[in-house]
Each structure stands twice: as structure tokens, then as C-alpha cells.
Amino acid sequence: MCMVTLQRMLPAFSSCCEDLVSRWRTSLGSKGSCELDVWPELKNLTGDVISRTAFSSSHLEGRKIFQLQEEQAERLITNIRGLLIPGYLSLPTKNNRRMHQINKEIESILKNLVGKRIQAMKQGESTKDDLLSLLLESNMRQTDEHGRSSLGMTIEDVIEECKLFYFAGMETTSVLLTWTMILLSMHPEWQDRAREEIMGLFGRNKPEYEGLSRLKTVTMILYEVLRLYPPATLFSRKTYKEMEIGGITYPAGVMVELPVMFIHHDQHIWGSDVHEFKPDRFADGVSKASNDSGAFLPFGWGPRICIGQNFALLEAKMAMCMIIQSFEFELAPSYSHAPYTVITLQPMHGAQINLRAI
């Protein structure tokens, strides 16, 4: 996603963050402090951001889709964790019937939404600065340039892409923000350093694009969080023909897993302080942070690298700036540290944090 496009999405980022901060302010009560499990809150935030940036004016419909998809993911995990017998997913169990129904509901909302947008575009209505318009515009351009509609995506493809935005973009960014709040609670000296930088650049004003791209300490902190707690702990590839990797010959059809978590925690690459939270290691950029410039892989690598990485980092910077401008935070006594993987790396018992207004 190019920087100009991202810049145009900034108002959507900041208005979602404003909603979050004012909701948290309301929970503070008369003492000016409160305990909050920030994880579901931050999931709400990133879901809201994707809804608004993907579907702008129709973001309430977008939010409905994402809520349905969240229910779908939970039901799928329940199924996977349960006893798996061949054909189990096709049995008309209560869970499977609901999953089928959810699928139908999502597709029908999306079909309607995409159809309306295509109609509006054909009638020359001004396009919106959202992901759906970007997708449809580039699809139409491709169709025109080549004069063949077969190169463009079908409505079904567009619908699948819209669904992917949620899976790829919402959960990942929410866990990045959650681990960042947890680690800045564990390391208050870094919370202070981040606040100093943020207040120096923006004071109490709304962060703008120029300032966000000058944040150094906050960027180092986000990188260190992504190193220690990568939202995607591994990714997979399949050999499509016989090939040699690292001196071993693999036949076609072998699944190869890249263990991002292990690479990010390898002391031969990062040094003996590998398990410590030390954002300073990124002071001279990613390539100087370790002895292997390709070892930092939170967004994947190669042709399938995350297309949303700039989007995610800008969103995370905006959110952290607005949170840190308004609150000091520390871990609540009820917090218990238990990272575990359910597709993404999550805090098993939530992220209970004490917030205090500043």
C-alpha cells in the first residue's frame, strides 16, 4: 500500500483511536484510574479501523461482517480442537450448521456491498478512499488496459479479498498493540521514553503523518515487540517441484515451515541478550540489529510478504501515540503472563492493565 494512500486513511485511523481513548476515559471513574483487559478493546479498535478503511461509509455493515467472521473463527477452532474424524466438518452438527449460516450471511452482505459500489462507480460517482474502491479500481484498470475482462477479478474474488483483510489485518495488529502495552507496562522506563518523544513531537495534539514518520523510539519499541512476540509465529511454503534447500533435496508437495519465533529468539543471531526487551538494538535500523539482516521476519519475506505492513505500523503508531498521550499504565495484579498461539500469538488470560489518566 503506497504512502499517499495510507496518508488518506489517517483520518479514519485517528477517529477510531479517539473513540477508544474517550471510551477508556469514561471507564476511569472518580479516582481517575481503572483496571481494564485491553486485549478485547484493542481488537475492537483494529476491527473498527479495517471496517472504516475497507468500507468507509458502509463501515457498520463492515463491522457486522467482521463480527460474524470472528464468531466463525472461534467455531472453527472449536471444531479443530475437538475430536476430528474424517467428514466431521460436513456433519449437520449445531456448530457446523451455524458456520454454514454465517458463511451465507457474510457473502450476502458483501455481495450487496460490492454490487452497490460497482454500480456507483459505473454511474461516475466520486470514488472513496477505501480498500474496496482501491481493489475495484485497480481491477477495472486491469480489465481496461488489457481489453480482456478475464484478467480482472470476479465479484467472488473481491469478496474473498475483503474477507482476507479481516483475517490478515485485524487480529495481527491487535496482538501487536496488546503486547506493546504489556511490555511497556513491564518496562516503564521505555514507556517514559516513548511519552517523551510523543509529547515532544505532538504535545496534546492529534498526531499527523509527518510527525508519525519521524518517531524513532516508538518504532524501535514496535520492532522489538514484533521480534519477541511476532503475531505470526511461523509461515509455510510447499515445494511445487523437486528442489534443494540447504543441501537437502525435497520432492514436490512437501510443506516447509519457517519458524519465525525460533529465528527471532536465536542467540547466535541476536546475541546473548536475545530474550531481553531491548528496543535499542534497532537504533541503527533493522539490518544492523542482528548479525543476519534477513532474520527479522514479522511480516514474512519474499513475494508473499505482508501487503499491509506499512498500514499496520502506521495504525500501531497512531494508536500508541494517542494512548500514551492520555494514559500511564502498568500491569494489574490479576495479569498472568501466558503467550500462546491460536493462529496468532495471544495472551492466554487476557491483558489486564491499570490505566491512569495524565
Which of positions 234-273 make contact with ligand HEM (CB under 6 A)? 235
- Rounded CA-CA distance 288/324 in Å is 28
- Rounded CA-CA distance 217/225 in Å is 12
Q: Contact at 8 Å (CB) between 74 and 98?
A: no
Sole binder of ligand HEM in the list 28, 199, 269, 306 (CB under 6 A): 306
Sole binder of ligand HEM in the list 73, 121, 168, 274 (CB under 6 A): 168
Q: Considering CB under 6 A, how many residues would be counted as binding ligand HEM?
A: 19
Sole binder of ligand HEM in the list 152, 211, 271, 300 (CB under 6 A): 300
Nearer to ligand HEM, 165 or 329 (CB): 165
162 is in an annotated binding site: no
Residue 47 sits in the site that holds ligand HEM (CB under 6 A) = no
- Rounded CA-CA distance 174/346 in Å is 9
For 348, what's the count of Cα atoms within 13 Å in the CB-facing half-sphere? 6
Amino acid at 151: L
Instruction: Name residue, grid cell 506493546.
Output: 180
Return the closest-CA partner of residue 212 out of 290, 324, 133, 131.
324
Sole binder of ligand HEM in the list 172, 180, 290, 354 (CB under 6 A): 172
In angstroms, give the least distance from the CB of 42 to ligand HEM. 12
Nearer to ligand HEM, 134 or 199 (CB): 134
Secondary structure of residue 239 in the 3-state scheme = coil
Sole binder of ligand HEM in the list 55, 223, 277, 299 (CB under 6 A): 299
Residue 312 sits in the site that holds ligand HEM (CB under 6 A) = yes
User: What contacts 126, CB < 8 A, 6 or more positions away?
Assistant: none
**Span of 169-177, 212-220, 281-289, 328-336 interacting with ligand HEM by CB under 6 A:** 169-177
Instruction: Name residue, grid cell 483494529.
Output: 46
Residue 134 sits in the site that holds ligand HEM (CB under 6 A) = no
- Rounded CA-CA distance 49/68 in Å is 16
Q: Where on the chain is the footprint of ligand HEM (CB under 6 A)?
A: 164-165, 168-169, 172-173, 176, 231-232, 235, 298-300, 304, 306-308, 311-312
